Amino acid sequence: MQDAKSIVLIGFMGTGKSSVGKALAKRLDLTFLDMDAVIEEREGIPISEIFTSLGEAHFRALERALTQELAESHGLVIATGGGIVLNPDNARDFSRKGLVVCLQALPETILARVAHETHRPLLANGDKLTTIRKLLAKRQALYDALPHEIDTDGLTVDQVAARVIALYRHAQA
């Protein structure tokens, strides 16, 4: 399926982008890419260290360059970082040749999914739920502007994947 459109999963951290992306890639025989993992591999350091040592602006520049590269690809399932929407050009570039789907979840669901993870630089300090709510409030209009949204609350990875596949098949028709 090399000529197939790519599927790009956008959404806040903990909404299921990586888990759903892996399931989609397997079910559709496409290649899965996690943008954060690609950046870490290329830079040779974790995202948290990029944020700490080089700053968020540097990370966003790396993310933008990778977006421009991947937006020209076909047959991928791409899990983006949660802040990809901070630059509207990112979603616009991905939308030109791919299906962009925003995964959403309630702040409490997100917290339950990420509470024990240590690689989330934006949750490193303070009350995590308060931070999640603040960040979501800042980004919600950007997520809402995306054409396709799936609320992942109360759904399994397979259920979310099935909904994305339905959108994908409709877009391929």
pLDDT 10s digits, 103-162:
999 999 998 888 776 666 556 677 888 888 998 999 999 999 998 999 999 999 999 999
CA torsion, ordered 19, 24, 25, 30, to nearest 10 deg: -150
Q: What angle do CA 47, 29, 163 make, to 5 degrees?
A: 80
Single pTM value for the model: 0.92
| Tens digit of each residue's pLDDT (9 = 90 or more) over 14-24 | 999 999 999 99
Paired with 151 in beta bridges are: 104
Residue 113 CB-half CA count within 13 A = 22
pLDDT per position as a tens digit, 83-117: 899 999 999 999 998 999 999 999 999 988 887 76
- Cβ atoms of 146 and 140 closer than 8 Å: no
Domain spans of the chain, in order of start: 6-172
CATH number of 6-172: 3.40.50.300
51 secondary structure, DSSP code: I
Q: Return the amino acid letter for 20.
A: V
